[in-house]
Amino acid sequence: MRVYFEDGTYESLNDNHFISQGGQGSVYGKDDLAYKIYTNPKDAISEKKIKELSKIGNDDIIKPEYALFNNKDVCIGYAMRKIDSKVSLCQLFNHSYKTKNNISNLTVCKLIEDIQNKVDNIHKEGILIVDFNEMNFLVDDNNYSRAYFIDVDSYKTPSFEAGAIAEHIKDRHTKGFTKESDWFSFSIIAFRLLTGLHPYKGRHKVYKNINDRMLANVSAFNSEVKLPAIVPSFDIIPNEFKHWLESVLEKGERSHPPNITGNVLVVPTFKVDKVTGLGNFTITVIKKYSNNISRYFETSSTPVVVTSDTTHLGNYEIREAYPYIHEEEDGKLYLINRPSGNSFNIFDYVNKKNVPNQMEGETLFNIGNKLCYKLKDSIYRLKVVSVGENALYQVKKSATYLKTLLRYSTMF
């Protein structure tokens, strides 16, 4: 396949250069450039938008560089800088991942500062990110303090509106999209990097889901919100930045963030080999299980305990281990395991039955209570949907449909 540049020169691409494929098209890599080729040329980014995005000067913001054409002079895609495979930003929300890779609180703060500086680079050119979700960022796995911005073709420029925005980072209190709404979304990403928790998760007696919590400005800073035990003390967040997060997430204010680095509290890690009773604490056995506990989750409705051969949701027991969970915004809960190969077993806790599906994935992992999985060069996050009343009826009878909510690839 030949793709042509504006000056008439061309590049030949074949299957050996293929990197990944997404909903809009395919990505190829050759030498120091990556090539995004749209399946339908009507979806291709315009040359004018490429020129507007080219004003962004930072090389870590992987923007379209050159329009690409077919032999009929029709724009079919664009070329951009090719970067080596990096880790997805969302992996740093996981406490175990940070511990395993020795990622300190100071490193996380430096990463947040790097993201903040690059957002400033984008804003000064009159451009907005809008879809500030975690799947649109990669992190350098050498030091974990350098971010790469991807999916830049979806940004809002002076002449072009943005595409869709993920609901979990959308500002409910700002009309349209502004610098302030970008900073609100940034505050959610920063909070999750620091604590591992979405700031509108945890349990509240009145507001049960993220949307209601966002509308009411009831964040994790609220004293009536019960947080999972694994969430660290907010004292690890530098004071000025913590006050800014609280003002945005809890008080509804919108402003530019302060510099996070400075008096950063470095939290030491240590190993406890043995704990013996000294008479100054009490251990109470809550419940005993026949096999070792392998995983524990807290959902909005019930705790989940997984052993080697059973799964327990409150007093309800399933005689099979489901080490992964997926919780929808409405509280519906699904349990997932992978019995063999790349196939999934999915259990619908509300309807107490297995869900037929054709999902495949090489590696499964949870970000919060959302299930993600890796397949080839892509990471997917699941959302359970039903289409139409007939389909909804079929959901209750026999099947549930799983649909990709967000897609990440090393070059999209």
User: What pLDDT score does 404 carry?
Assistant: 37
pLDDT at 80 over 70: yes
Q: 100 and 232, same structural domain?
A: yes
Whether residues 172 and 243 share a domain: the answer is yes
Q: Which of 55, 81, 107 is the last residue of a domain?
A: 81
Tell me the pLDDT tens digit for each residue of 284-298. Answer: 777 888 888 888 888
d(CA 157, CA 155): 6
Shared domain for 107 and 74, answered yes or no, is no
132 and 15 both lie in a single domain:
no
Q: Is residue 9 in some structural domain?
A: yes
CA angle 294, 229, 233 (to 5 degrees): 135
Same domain, 60 and 108: no
Which of 57, 81, 105 is at the close of a domain?
81
Judge whether 403 and 371 are in contact, CB under 8 Å: no
Residue 258 lies inside a defined structural domain of this protein: no
* Strand blocks (E) in 279-362: 293-298, 303-307, 311-313, 316-318, 324-327, 333-337, 345-348, 353-355
User: Do 77 and 104 lie in a common domain?
Assistant: no
Residues recorded for the chain: 412
Q: Does a structural domain hold residue 268?
A: no
Domain membership of residue 271 (yes or no) is no
Regarding predicted confidence, which is higher, 136 or 266? 136
DSSP for 27-43, written as a single string: EEEETTEEEEEESSGGG
Report the domain count for the chain: 3
pLDDT, position 212: 95
Rounded average pLDDT over 365-374:
78
- φ, ψ at 252 (rounded to 5°): 80, 15
Residues 6+ apart with CB under 8 A from 273: none
My answer on whether 61 and 170 are in the same domain is no
pLDDT the model gives residue 210? 93
Task: Give tens-digit pLDDT for 101-113.
Answer: 999 999 999 999 9
With respect to residue 264, please indicate whether it lies within any of the assigned structural domains: no
Is there a domain that residue 267 lies in?
A: no
Mean of all residue pLDDT scores within the chain: 84
Domain span holding position 331: 293-409
For the segment 18-30, the average pLDDT, to the nearest whole number, is: 84
- Judge if 235 and 98 occupy the same domain: yes
- With left for phi above 0 and alpha for psi between -120 and 50, is residue 206 left, alpha or beta? alpha
What proportions of the chain, in percent to the nearest 5, are helix, strand and coil? 25, 25, 50
Indicate if 117 and 71 belong to the same structural domain: no
Model confidence at 272, pLDDT cuts 50, 70, 90, reads very low
d(CA 92, CA 95): 7
397 and 348 both lie in a single domain: yes
Q: Are residues 105 and 227 in the same domain?
A: yes
Q: How far apart are the first and last CA of the chain?
A: 20
Question: 95: burial class by Cβ within 10 Å (0-12, 13-18, 19+)?
Answer: middle
- Give the pLDDT band of residue 164 (cuts 50, 70, 90): confident
Q: Are residues 227 and 101 in the same domain?
A: yes
301-316 pLDDT tens trace: 788 898 888 898 888 8
Q: CATH number for the domain including 110? A: 1.10.510.10
CA pair distance 152, 129, nearest whole angstrom: 8
210 in a structural domain: yes
Instruction: Give domain status of residue 288, yes or no.
Output: no
Domain boundary among 58, 81, 104: 81
